[in-house]
A and B are shown apart, each in its own frame.
Chain A
């Protein structure tokens, strides 16, 4: 789904893979390792090519998509003085971090699991620069600054040159534009080098289908480039064209996001195997109103309306949708998952549970066919649904909807379930009002 963040380590690996193609003339060592605990780091140090882990002073920091690691005191670069961290100290620090929950200044909390370890790079502030690229509106924008690190974030307006590059601009014009916008603060002796690097940086960002790419700071020592801190997002829709170019980068869940529940994972797995779309997010497992909505747009308006009309967003238990012509089996599985979740906890205030089986007027999905799966799930869960005083409200239109509505009504009546069914003559979200007013 569009733009997704990758780990700093993977971003650097992509740089390294393509370095010669874009940045020949510059040197980049790519001395980085990604580990999940101290022993892994110790083992890595024994491998050929990673001797530097034992020989050089190290820097260790979490690699889990969040920024401001320095301000959160999550960058290990000193024991007694900057640049004296040994392999063992880094490994011990990592083990200490993974043993406890970490709370960020932003309030996000969770357990750290991934760390990037690199050599300590002694340098001075004036060797730090800032460079990033992203898309703003329809254009690419390249941001350049003679100052890097935290400095650049304080005083962005004055310190950063923005170079707006239209999507259709040719390479010669891009080169000209970057040259014309090189930050004034770049020392003369580094100017040509910086221009050359910036130009290639943009092409790299563009060709590799990054959606966002930031190095802050990048340290330039002669032709040696040190990518000290990197943030990147890829346009994952381009994945099919990129093959090995992305070095198998994974798209981790953001730190602090609760891991998916087994039910959400099961639906996501069913979704990945199906030509149809099946999505489920649990917002509040204790919630009173559960939805099973067909179609992405409709699922949003149902969620909007429930929040608006219930006056209490915590009533809304889940968000999700099924669409694109799921099979009867897929619909049944989806329905059973929702029914199971909604009958686990009694409503704390003793109220009825509400099940919204909603949807707009389908373009081509056979409504009766998809309802067959829901009816089959009713058969299994009827008693549990009744035990929670579930009231069911159905609204749907589209191919064969009359039969679908008739079938679901008959099944519910036969099973003794409370149900109200409506077709296209009723406004799509009006069943929410009806359910809440009763």
Chain B
């Protein structure tokens, strides 16, 4: 036990509640936290990969996940879940979080009106799993100067006014979230603020109750005394009374139960929360206030006298030297006006002395003695990682392999025709590049996509061939115009040899070669071609580098494979363009005898 939160505590925020998250990050900035308190957001229906938030004057990106399991896997140290799901789904969200053993220490549930039976199951399952549940139906809690849940404390101005920006010496527990701020304010005016505070929630069944929080505060050396604000209804206060009587709680408790009004009205009027309805004398506020006073807690004569009682107890602790003077910490301030950035860049930065590629100054990668090749530069700028040599060598091999394939292919032909029309290098290059797509160069993408799809789903080579037949698709990456088993493509042989020698493993290539065995048994030229080999080995490379399957799918979808072809083949296109310029070839006009003319008189309609 001890403190509920520390300055390192990070949370996963379930639901993209932008204003609450921004309030947390503003708080973090003001109190000089090193890391933002929200590590990630879970938003099942969001298509975004991150959300932008202000951190002081700047913006930061908070990653977004579809489910808690993925978010937790990415942030294993985020041990708080802020469950902001609605009353319909809050139960399922909590139950999923509990199954992630060892991840969450605290789960805060904000929804009000979760079905009681579900709330009870959720609370019990959490207790069994050793997870502290704050709520349901709560605004949350705070460890001033360390971690603040969502909207607790309200505005930054109020937080500073109520001394919620740094730890005081009081432990505060309330049921009501609305009065939590008020109590923090009262304690800051009449004492030195709170060290830790929790609003346990207004529903009939809540996870952690008064006694759970007070026992933790008893064991927290920063808490010197506690304030308990109870409510009419329920018997939770009696557990505290027992703990005080038995000596389990020794620190002074100032306590009050609100709802004394209820005794004046026999029935029918619901004063306050769902949990707030007295079914017996012992559940009335007056009865509980008397019992708490008798147990030795400090109970004021009325709510209006609560401030004086707090001042009295605090003054006493001050005189006894139990509470000492607090040095007010330096605070940063959040600018009043902040502008959102229109663009984001995560790969390079030109703001310092020297521009960098993913953190590497250009001079540290440019010259030969740096040991960086073009493959390294690609790995930095395209993937924001420094790849090992076997991988960067592979990238360079790919670029070299695809650099050109003669003047007759559509891209090169286009580039040549454009150059001969007198256009500049850029125009000519672009006309060539514009042919790259599903029919020209696209086989690399498709081979990677389909072979990976089959392999991910555990299809056998025969099943894969059947599947493609049913889909009505030829298998990308299989087949060559001239080359065959007996007349192998030496580019493919080279790639395979390199992979065999340098790749840690090539599961997808192994699968593809099994497929090839079947296809070549039907027809000799249905070999794994160079496009197929490149795409498939790229997947094997990424797997060996530790990327997840969904990361790799993301690369393929983003067109990263196509991009290698674009870069490589640009070298060839430029060669053809320069060749045309050098030769000074005239404007090209296609001979009419090479065109089948079949033009009929248009019908009149």
Once A138-B124, A238-B117, A307-B261 are accepted as A-B contacts, the answer to whether A427 and B176 lie under 8 Å apart by CB is: no
- Identify which of residues 379-427 in chain A touch chain B, using a CB-to-CB cut-off of 8 Å: 397-399, 424-425, 427
Contact A398 B158 (CB under 8 A): yes
Per a CB cutoff under 8 Å, which of B88, B124, B161, B270 touches A167?
A: B124
CB pair B182–A361 under 8 Å, yes or no, is yes
Q: Please state if A300 and B304 are interface contacts (CB–CB under 8 Å).
A: no
B-chain residues with CB within 8 Å of residue A433 when the two chains form the complex: 304
Cβ of A168 to closest chain B Cβ, rounded Å: 5
Chain A, residue nearest B229 (CB): A297
Question: With a CB–CB cut-off of 8 A, which chain A residues contact B205?
Answer: 138
Closest to A428 in B: B182
Taking a contact as CB atoms under 8 Å apart, the answer to whether B231 and A360 are in contact is: no
Judge whether B115 and A319 touch: CB under 8 Å: no
Chain A: interface secondary structure? Answer: mixed
Check if A209 sits within 8 Å of B115, measured CB to CB: yes
Known: A206-B117, A424-B158. A300 touches B268 (CB 8 A): no
- Contact present for B87 and A237 (CB under 8 Å): yes
> How far apart sit A206 and B120, CA to CA, in the bound complex (Å)?
12
Q: In the complex, are the beta carbons of B116 and A399 less than 8 A apart?
A: no
CB-based contact A363/B152 at 8 Å: yes
Chain B nearest CB from A61 CB (Å) reads: 22
Partner among A235, A298, A307, A398 whose Cβ is within 8 Å of the Cβ of B116: A235
Please state if A167 and B117 are interface contacts (CB–CB under 8 Å).
yes
CA distance A80 to B189 in the complex (A): 76
* Binary flags per residue of A287-330, CB closer than 8 Å to B gives 1, else 0: 00000000111111101111111000100100100010000000
Residue A39 CB within 8 A of the other chain: no
Which residues of chain B have C-beta atoms less than 8 A from A167's C-beta?
A: 117, 120-121, 124
Q: Is the CB of B261 within 8 A of A313?
A: yes
Q: In the complex, which range does the number of interface residues on chain B fall in?
A: 35 or more
CB contacts (< 8 Å) of B88 on chain A: these are 240
Contact between B182 and A298, CB atoms less than 8 A apart: yes
CB distance from B269 to the nearest CB of A (A): 5
A3 → chain B, closest Cβ, in Å? 8
Q: Which partner residue on chain B sits nearest A277 by CB separation?
A: B112
The contact string, 1 if C-beta is below 8 Å from chain A, for chain B 142-153, is: 000000000111
Which one, B128, B174, B303, contacts A304 given CB within 8 A? B303
Asked if B423 is an interface residue, CB under 8 A from chain A, the answer is: no
Which residues of chain A have C-beta atoms less than 8 A from B270's C-beta? 1
Q: Does chain A have a CB within 8 A of B265?
A: yes
Q: List 11 A-B contacts (CB under 8 A).
A: A167-B117, A168-B128, A300-B276, A303-B271, A308-B260, A313-B261, A319-B271, A361-B158, A397-B158, A425-B189, A427-B307
Which residues from chain A sit less than 8 Å from chain B, CB to CB? 1-3, 135, 138, 166-168, 206, 209, 211, 235, 237-238, 240-241, 254, 257, 281, 283, 295-301, 303-309, 313, 316, 319, 323, 360-364, 397-399, 424-425, 427-430, 432-433
Which residues of B line the A interface, CB within 8 A? 19, 87-88, 113-118, 120-121, 123-125, 128, 139, 151-155, 158, 161-162, 174-179, 181-182, 185-186, 189, 202-205, 231-232, 258-261, 264-265, 267-274, 276, 285, 302-304, 306-307
**12 further A-B pairs in the complex, CB-CB below 8 A; given A257-B268, A300-B258, A316-B261:** A168-B125, A237-B113, A238-B115, A240-B87, A297-B177, A298-B178, A300-B231, A300-B259, A300-B276, A301-B179, A425-B189, A429-B303
Q: Which 8 A-B pairs have the closest CB atoms?
A: A297-B176, A238-B115, A295-B178, A360-B182, A297-B179, A303-B261, A297-B178, A361-B181
